[in-house]
Structure 1
């Protein structure tokens, strides 16, 4: 039988979010209903509310989630009722040209649930990133559920569902940071700080955190940055070069996603260094640079989509490292809040007061 549960929706651009009753259908073939335990408040949810993704309102917000599988549809054998799972928005198809080439992290046809969750009047909801987890329960594709150690704190490991994985993967997977590398990270919010953690885990010898907010720089140092630079006080390119013997960093990660920060990343890298763009630009942003500057440097210019992760490979490994005390994921949880505090959490995030607010259901 379909179920009525609470959910947080955005009805219109810029309108405050609302808690309403939503309808969760029984899972169909390949689908799973998950009882949500926790869900992080990610900037992407705010972007949905502001119309920065698309205009398919109303949105059911929330996507950085962990919970318990409540029921499964026909043909589901990857998870079963009672499994503790972290949700992901990259359920790979296994059949597209990227998957067949052994590059499933670039899958062009990722899966979501086919059925729609709705309002009580039947209005279809658009779930954020195909998940919609600011709700007591949600309907997802089975491939969006990754089983992890059930003894782990859901408020902590649920953050792997988006921002933490995006940042760590930008360093470890996309940037291929290695032992002894120098790394600079521009922008020290949740994603940037996760990139710092990833660089440290990968063995980087020098990790330079760049931001305009001293509080965020303190967070970055606590999470593994060896040096911090306030971009309002230093020329970022010159400062990074000075800290790396005049050469520039081996890997520079732009976790902001603006033309000016990408240019800083480009010129702050070593001649054969790597630039990784993981911050999300808006569609109106453009970049103008001398073409000869691209020609005169080697290395790589990369974009990182979800940290180039494979959830079924990466989530269990990272949860195990967290459980062993080798990965300080708990430091990303600034506060634990109730479902009716999402709007206030957006305001705190906008003011730069939190790394992550986590809704506990």
Structure 2
């Protein structure tokens, strides 16, 4: 029987979000209803509200979530009511050309729930990243549910559902950071700090945090940065080179996603080094550079999609590290809030006052 619950909706571009009554249908074949326990306030949700993703309003926001499976639909055999799960937006199909090549982390045909959740008047909602988790209960495809240790804190491990996984994966999966490497991370918000945590996990010996905000640089040091550079006080490329005997770092991760920061990343890496773009640019952004610089410097230029993660592989592993005290996910939780405080959380995020606000339900 369909249920009515409270959820956060963006009705039009730029308008403040509202908490509304939403109808959640019973799960159909391959679907699951999850009682949401926590959901991080991610910059992607703000992009949805501002019309920066698409114009399929109204949106049901929220996607960085953990919760407990309440019910499952026909054909679901790997989930059961009571399972503690992190929600993901890469429910691999197993059949597309990426999956058949053995690279499911690039899956080009990921699964979402077929049925819509709706407003009280029957208007269908577009769930953010196919999840929609600023809500008491949400409907997702069963493949979007990854079972993890139920003893873990939902507020902390739910962040693996997007931003923290994107950053850690950018360092480990995409950047291939290894023991003894030097790493620079440009942009020390939630994703950038997660990249710093990932570099530390991988055994990097020098991790340089770059930002224009001294508060964020202090946070980055707490996460694992060994050096900091305030890009507002001079040329960050020169600063990074100065910390690496003039060479630049083995890997530079751009967690901002602007032409100027990408160029900084390109020139701040060592010869044959790797640039990883994990910050999301807008469609109008362009770069113009001498082609000879690409040839003469060699190396690799990569984009990181969701940290090139495979949720079924990476989520349980990272939760285990968290439970062992080797990955401090609690450090990313700046505050816990209610559904009614999401709009204020967007404002705090915009001003750089938090790493993550987390909605608790």
Q: TM-score when scaled to structure 2?
A: 1.00
Tell me which residue corresponds to 2:13. Answer: 13
User: Corresponding residue for 1:317?
Assistant: 317
Q: What is the CA–CA distance in structure 1 between the aligned matches of 2:35 and 2:328, rounded to whole Å?
A: 26
**What displacement does 1:306 show?**
0.2
SS in 1 for 2:297: coil
Q: Secondary structure at the match of 2:7?
A: strand
Aligned to 1:170: 170
| 1:56 is the counterpart of 2:27 | no
Q: TM-score, normalised by structure 1?
A: 1.00
| Equivalent residue number for residue 95 of structure 2 | 95
Q: Does 1:150 align with 2:150?
A: yes
Structure 2 Cα separation of the partners of residues 297 and 43 of structure 1: 33
Query: After TM superposition, where is structure 1 displaced by more than 3 Å over at least 4 residues in a row?
Result: none
Question: Residue 130 of structure 1 aligns with which residue?
Answer: 130
Structure-1 residue corresponding to 2:213: 213
What does the per-residue CA deviation read over 1:57-103, in whole Å, with 9 as the maximum and x for residues that have no partner?
Answer: 00000000000000000000121110000000000100000000001
- Are 1:201 and 2:201 an aligned pair? yes
- Greater Cα shift, 181-190 or 227-236: 227-236
1:297, distance to aligned residue in structure 2 (A)? 1.4
The CA distance in 1 between the partners of 2:306 and 2:78, in whole Å, is 22
How much does 1:234 deviate?
Answer: 2.1
Q: How many residues align?
A: 361
Look up the SS of the partner of 1:188 in the other structure.
coil
Deviations 1:137-176 (A, max 9, x none): 0000000000000010000000000000000000000000
What's the RMSD between the two structures over aligned residues?
Answer: 0.4
Aligned pairs (5 A) from 1:57-76? 57-76=57-76
Match of 2:188 in 1: 188
1:273 positional shift: 0.1
Measure, in 2, the Cα distance between the counterparts of 1:198 and 1:78: 29
Once the two structures are superposed, residues 265-287 of structure 1 have per-residue CA deviations (whole angstroms, 9 ceiling, x without a partner) of 00000011000000000000011
Q: CA deviation at 1:242?
A: 1.0
State how far apart, in whole Å, the 2-side matches of 1:247 and 1:182 are.
10
Does residue 1:118 correspond to 2:118, yes or no?
A: yes
Equivalence map 1:222-233=2 (5 Å): 222-233=222-233
Query: In 2, distance between residues paired with 1:153 and 1:234?
Result: 40
Alignment of 1:225-264 (within 5 A): 225-264=225-264
Spell out, residue by residue over 1:188-244, the C-alpha distance to the aligned partner (whole angstroms, 9 max, x if none).
Answer: 000000000000000000000000000000000000000000001121111111111
Gaps of 5+ in 1: none
SS at match of 1:232: helix
Tell me the CA shift for residue 119 of structure 1: 0.4
What is the distance in 2 between the residues matched to 1:209 and 1:137? 38
